Structure 1
Amino acid sequence: MHLLTLIFGIVLLPGAYTLRCNKCIPTSSGGCVNTEKICSAHGYQCASVRMISYAGGLKVSDLQMKSCVVQEQCGETSINFGLGRHVITTECCAIDFCNTKPASEPSRHTPNGKKCYHCNGPKCTATLNCEGNEDHCITKTVISGEKQKIIKGCASSKMCSSTVNAEIKGAIGGTFTCCQGDYCNSASSTSAGLLLLVAPLVSFVMFS
């Protein structure tokens, strides 16, 4: 009897702990239809995600999606390149199909006192005032054609965490490094266009 109970437990428990979520990826027309997604592993939660991009302080895009995410992604994270800033709000829950509502728009952020370098033209020596919870400086290496280019700026700790950072590296390739301390992302390099990072970042959020 005990053996039979053990066998049923082994067979049934993995299914019992598999979370089912709404998955919704925006289309080119702006619409979004919910489908079912089974989270691939333990430690994932259902999530409603919103990514807003700003240029010169003005909102230029607002994407909303739903999927499974690792718990470490839950909350608000951002990357700030000076000319462009991208804020990702991820609202999580841990019940089947609980991610029915869209994620909220992030609150308006103000400078937090931390300073990093960012690229303005061919040099990456311009000062950037980090905002909100951006407490790291970042350097992203991008391959454009046959040339290696650099993007610099500020990022929040969630974006620099080992798990999230590893997933971003897997999604967009190249080298993505973070450091703490004012101007720790020093040394000038030729800057890259923001779209070289923004488009893969959107893909990472949408398909994670």
Structure 2
Amino acid sequence: MHLLTLIFGIVLLPKAYTLKCYECEPGISGTCTDSTKECPQGQHCGALRILSYAGGSKLADVNMKTCALDKQCAEGSVNFGISRTVITSKCCTSELCNTQPAPEPIKSNPSGNKCYSCDGQKCTSILKCEGGEDHCISTTVNIGGEKTTVKGCASKLICSATAQIKGVIAGEMTCCQGDLCNSASSTSTGLLLLVAPLGSLVMFS
């Protein structure tokens, strides 16, 4: 009898330490309807928010909820000058605790870092980075069969997810640290205005 109890304990113990969390993916309206999901062992409940701005106006505010690893409970942003996308998250460790959406980002001050950004056909504009944007970024994407280069500032979170992002943009992406390290060069077409679709890959891929 004791042996049987021990066997049941070993089999059921890992299950006892998994969390049930709310999960939702945004629809067309940007809102999501909660369902529940049992997370893999070692993961927390998380809420993610992706906000995109252009010219000081908010273009998108997307919320989602899911299971998350420790490293995914972070904040980050990428700034191309004409557009900026900010990712915030909120994680918790109790049953169905991710009821609230992730918070709006706190208004950030210049970080002191400077990077090149693209304006029309040239990438010679100098952009003052904000908040935790301590890297310069250069990205090449394919839009309508044409290669487009965008440059700007990015936080460590964005740069550490280059492998996931590269699979989506089907182009090159490089990050560097140091003022104006992303070199000025020409671009073949206009600017990429929205990187919100990349945010979910950064956080919850």
Q: TM-score range by the shorter chain?
A: 0.7 to 0.9
Deviations 1:169-196 (A, max 9, x none): 344443222110011111413155425x
Q: Which amino acid aligns with 1:166?
A: A
Confirm or deny that 1:28 pairs with 2:28: yes
Unaligned ranges ≥5, structure 2:
none
Q: Which runs of 4+ in 1 moved over 6 A?
A: none
For residue 86 of structure 1, report the CA deviation from its aligned partner: 0.6
Question: Distance between the aligned counterparts of 2:81 and 2:64, measured in 1?
Answer: 25
Given the superposition, is the C-alpha separation of residues 2 and 178 from structure 1 closer, same or farther in structure 2, using an over 3 Å criterion?
Answer: farther
| Count of residues paired in the alignment | 204
The equivalent residue for 1:194 is: 192
Corresponding position of 1:117: 116
For the residues of structure 1 that align with 2:168 and 2:69, how far apart are their CA atoms? 15
| Cα contact 1:140–1:175 (8 A) shared by 2 | yes
Partner of 2:132: 133
Q: Is the 8 A contact 2:164 2:202 kept in 1?
A: no
Identity of aligned residues (%): 58
- 2:11 is paired with a residue whose SS is helix
The aligned residue for residue 76 of structure 2 is 77
Please give the root-mean-square deviation of Cα atoms over the aligned residues, in Å.
2.6
TM-score (norm 2): 0.85
Q: What secondary structure, in the 3-state scheme, does the structure 2 residue paired with 1:112 have? A: strand
Give the Cα–Cα distance (whole angstroms) in 2 for the partners of residues 70 and 99 of structure 1.
14
Asked if the contact 1:149–1:189 (Cα under 8 Å) also holds between the matched residues in 2, the reply is: no
Unmatched 5+ stretches in structure 1: none
Give the TM-score of the pair, scaled to structure 1. 0.84
Query: Do 1:25 and 1:206's aligned partners in 2 also have CA atoms closer than 8 Å?
Result: no
Is 1:156 matched up with 2:174?
A: no
